[in-house]
Amino acid sequence: KELIFKEYFGTQFVIDGSKKMHCMDIRLQHKEHPLFRIGIECKNKKSICQHDIDKFKNDKIKNEFSLSIFLSQSCKIPKRVETKHHFKFENNELYIFSDDLNYIVIVTQIYIFQLLQSFDTHEERFTPEFFIDILTNLYKNWCQVKKTCQKLDQDLVFALQKIGLELNKGHLYL
């Protein structure tokens, strides 16, 4: 996939497909506008879960991508793209469900061109949707932290009871 993006977008973008944590599979940085960056998450598995989408959105926010692309080659993207060879664009996120390379390149080129034009005109990048994404991401991360703390609390209570320590009201609060 990286080679294909280099072939079609290599003249306009520096393309980085090196493995990095929390940074999407392929990253494109425009040669003339270094702040115009695109992150591409490639999935080729039997099913995509909400965790995959959440990670994609989290990576988008952390890396401040101008456009983020979620590409699924083998299965539908729940609540977004249910039919093969279709796409959905929402909040500078492009969701594509297709294994046809020509289709993927055409859709991607259209959205890159459209966003690059608005980037050149210096339109506002921080839309209400951008802030909604940030708050949603923070909330979901907070829920994961709470869940982990509750599990740790249960494990500690169980371990302390097993060693014979009496607990006030039978539990701890972390």
Give the tokens for residue 150: 């509750």
Instruction: Determine the Cα–Cα distance for residues 152 and 158; give it in Å rounded to an integer.
Output: 10
Instruction: Determine the Cα–Cα distance for residues 115 and 99; give it in Å rounded to an integer.
Output: 24
Q: What's the predicted TM-score (pTM) here?
A: 0.69
**pLDDT tens readout for residues 59-106:** 998 888 888 999 999 999 999 999 888 888 888 899 999 888 888 888
pLDDT given at position 70: 94
Query: If pLDDT is split at 50, 70 and 90, which confidence band does 169 have?
Result: low
How far is Cα of residue 165 from the mean position of the Cα atoms in its chain?
45
What is the mean predicted confidence (pLDDT) over 105-118?
80
